[in-house]
Amino acid sequence: MMEEGNIIKIAGPVIVADGMRGAQMHEMVRVGDDKLIGEIIELEGDTATIQVYEETAGLKPGEKIERTGGPLSVELGPGVMGSIFDGIQRPLEVIKELTGDYIARGVDVPSIDKEKKWTFEPIAKVGDKVTGGDILGQVQETSAVVQKIMVPPMIEGHIKSIVGKDQFTVEETIAVIETDDGDKEVAMLQKWPVRKGRPYAEKLDPDIPLITGQRAQDTFFCLAKGGAAAIPGPFGSGKTVTQQQLAKWADADIVVYIGCGERGNEMTEVLTEFPFLEDPRTGNPIMDRTVLIANTSNMPVAAREACVYTGITIAEYFRDQGYDVALMADSTSRWAEAMREISGRLEEMPGEEGYPAYLASRLAQFYERAGRVTTLGQDPKQASVTVVGAVSPPGGDMSEPVTQNTLRICKVFWALDASLADKRHFPSIDWLQSYSLYVDNITSWWQENASDEWRANRDQAMVLLQQESELEEIVQLVGPDALPDSQQVILETTRMLREDFLQQNAYDEVDTYCSPTKQAGMLKTILTFHENASAAVARGADVKDIAALPVKEEIARMKYIPEEEFEAKNKEMQEQVVTQCSEV
């Protein structure tokens, strides 16, 4: 019989209980007659403050608190992939079968199916010396994902026995490991406390880009595998579409998508759309490599606080198997607000804008769980967790604490801009404000894999865009005709860069994904235009004639050319640019 306490105070999602001496910080508890799930967040003498992950209406002082003896943990093993969970890893599909279309309280469901049998193929052999992170065998979980079944961290010894290829549930013993403290039985299922990062051997420098197929991000403000990026933007600036595009097309093996305090319909959209989208690299349905965590805005606020941890722990588990994992959190502001709400209920002294003083350290701890690492085990693999966090600054004001504290940690900043969104310039990434500190790290990758002129072209394009913003100021004062011809050419080129390169249509079949080679090719064509047009103007050609060149229209439509036809057509286009400019 577990020890019990009694509720003495209830205020929203926070309750206080006495008779809790001996309970641990962050221990998971069952609250009241409905056995709601809660977590201890403060201890003082005999009393414990508990945040409850479910609606607390109807709870009364005097109801019992049941301790579970362990921290809030996630269950890891085959059965995680392709599922949709709530913030504390309860599968929403199963809850739907149990309680109907609305989520009732106190539902007790296992996170992953304990009955289902998986075909386990052993890889390790009896007598093998193993340590934490070594691979015992594997399970083909979905078309896209083979789960490696690992020795849990902290276990070291020799394999005493291991099962043959057969069907097992996640809880059945598949191997026995003889260790210094006796024999340990290992099943496919692992539990891990969400607030503790899973161990790895060593952190590496991120020098491989995470290719997303999005031109503005990949070419100008690229993210590296194992890096962290922030997407702040006011509402309506396209954060969610940007996040979803990354979840769809990023070249990660596994995607964990956290809908933290966002709209229910957005999660439904992912659920209905992803099974029918093909991964451009493998041809498998994208859903087969995706784990969804949905804690929508109307679901209990404390579970919103937990959901980012649930998500990143799942991401780390796949990283440990040797995969490149991308995690999208939409939106970290809602997570921070959940912290603020709980902190307010605890009557803690508020920091900036009512957020708790520990906001910065919690954000840092979370983003630091991203990284490219070598995994544990005797045959270490290089794997990564990349984190992309959306930030929803109130009123679009980037000086607010969540944005500012996030920027201190993230090395990539994709600033979304409302005025671009108003013009339907999507993705509305502001090219003057955004930055990536990984450009130097990943230059060699791009030069080897896409084009050896990549870096020079990228930098030149950035300079042109910078010049445009200066020229625009002059145009605002004196009109475009007052500019010298050479500068008018710059404006022609940058308009092309903005409209024909940076703008990308997420809803167009072809344009939704753009490969690195196509990106490099498109950029090259635009810069070829710039070079030849500038030369023509220097010879004395009229800018108006340059502006009227028929090839411009073709350039405008090059984003819609399918990948396989692109190279040939692009070459033709570049030749036309040269001829047409020379004929002016």
Please, which of residues 389-428 interact with another protein by CB under 8 A?
A: 392, 394-397, 418, 421-425
Side chain identity, residue 364: A
Residue 45 lies near another protein (rule: CB under 8 A): no
If the CB atoms of residues 59 and 124 are measured against another protein, the closer one turns out to be 59
The stretch near another protein (CB under 8 A) out of 92-100, 169-177, 360-368, 533-541 is: 92-100
Please give the residues from 2 up to 21 whose contact with another protein meets the rule CB under 8 A. 8-12, 16
If the CB atoms of residues 211 and 230 are measured against another protein, the closer one turns out to be 230
CA 95 to chain centre: 25
Among 67, 289, 340, 518, binds another protein (CB under 8 A): 340
Q: What is the closest distance, in whole angstroms, from the C-beta atom of residue 486 to another protein in the complex? A: 18
If the CB atoms of residues 239 and 458 are measured against another protein, the closer one turns out to be 239
Spatial distance between the Cα atoms of 412 and 210, rounded to a whole number of angstroms? 12
C-alpha distance from residue 459 to each of 139, 170, 440, 527 (Å)? 46, 52, 11, 11
- Answer for the pair 109, 91: CB distance below 8 angstroms, yes or no: yes
Phi then psi dihedrals of residue 377, to 5 deg: 105, 170
Which residues are 183's β-sheet partners?
Answer: 178
Residue 101 lies near another protein (rule: CB under 8 A): yes
- Answer for the pair 378, 131: CB distance below 8 angstroms, yes or no: yes
Please give the residues from 105 up to 144 whose contact with another protein meets the rule CB under 8 A. 105
Q: Which of 143, 196, 168 is nearest to 25 (CA)?
A: 196
Please give the residues from 71 up to 90 whose contact with another protein meets the rule CB under 8 A. 84
Residue 432 lies near another protein (rule: CB under 8 A): no
Residue 574 lies near another protein (rule: CB under 8 A): no
Q: What is the closest distance, in whole angstroms, from the C-beta atom of residue 542 to another protein in the complex? A: 13
Tokens of 38: 């809660």
Among 47, 49, 51, 56, binds another protein (CB under 8 A): 56
- DSSP states of 178-203 as a string? EETTEEEEEES-EEEETTSPPP-SEE
Looking at 274-400, list the stretches that DSSP marks H as alpha helix, in order from N- to C-terminal side.
301-320, 332-345, 359-367
Among 134, 253, 337, 468, binds another protein (CB under 8 A): 337
If the CB atoms of residues 154 and 432 are measured against another protein, the closer one turns out to be 432
The stretch near another protein (CB under 8 A) out of 73-81, 436-444, 470-478, 513-521 is: 470-478
Phi then psi dihedrals of residue 50, to 5 deg: -125, 135
If the CB atoms of residues 113 and 156 are measured against another protein, the closer one turns out to be 113
Residue 235 lies near another protein (rule: CB under 8 A): yes
Among 44, 45, 57, 181, binds another protein (CB under 8 A): 57
If the CB atoms of residues 79 and 516 are measured against another protein, the closer one turns out to be 79
Per-residue mark of binding to another protein, 434-453 (x: CB under 8 A): --------------------
Residue 313 lies near another protein (rule: CB under 8 A): no
Residue 469 lies near another protein (rule: CB under 8 A): no
If the CB atoms of residues 297 and 449 are measured against another protein, the closer one turns out to be 297
Spatial distance between the Cα atoms of 54 and 301, rounded to a whole number of angstroms? 8
Please give the residues from 147 up to 176 whose contact with another protein meets the rule CB under 8 A. none
Residue 558 lies near another protein (rule: CB under 8 A): no
Spatial distance between the Cα atoms of 333 and 177, rounded to a whole number of angstroms? 44
Signed CA dihedral, 215, 221, 225, 226: sign only: negative
Among 20, 23, 49, 55, binds another protein (CB under 8 A): 55
Residue 572 lies near another protein (rule: CB under 8 A): no
Signed CA dihedral, 94, 98, 103, 108: sign only: negative
Residue 296 lies near another protein (rule: CB under 8 A): yes
What b/e sequence results for 456-476 when a residue is b if at least 16 CB atoms lie within 10 Å of its CB, and e otherwise? ebbebbbebbeebeebeeebe
Among 294, 315, 383, 536, binds another protein (CB under 8 A): 294
Residue 480 lies near another protein (rule: CB under 8 A): yes
Q: What is the closest distance, in whole angstroms, from the C-beta atom of residue 141 to another protein in the complex? A: 20
| 65 DSSP assignment | E
Please give the residues from 346 up to 375 whose contact with another protein meets the rule CB under 8 A. 347, 350, 353-354
Among 115, 379, 481, 509, binds another protein (CB under 8 A): 481
Spatial distance between the Cα atoms of 163 and 166, rounded to a whole number of angstroms? 8
Q: Which of 580, 466, 484 is nearest to 533 (CA)?
A: 580
Spatial distance between the Cα atoms of 430 and 442, rounded to a whole number of angstroms? 21
Please give the residues from 171 up to 210 whose contact with another protein meets the rule CB under 8 A. none
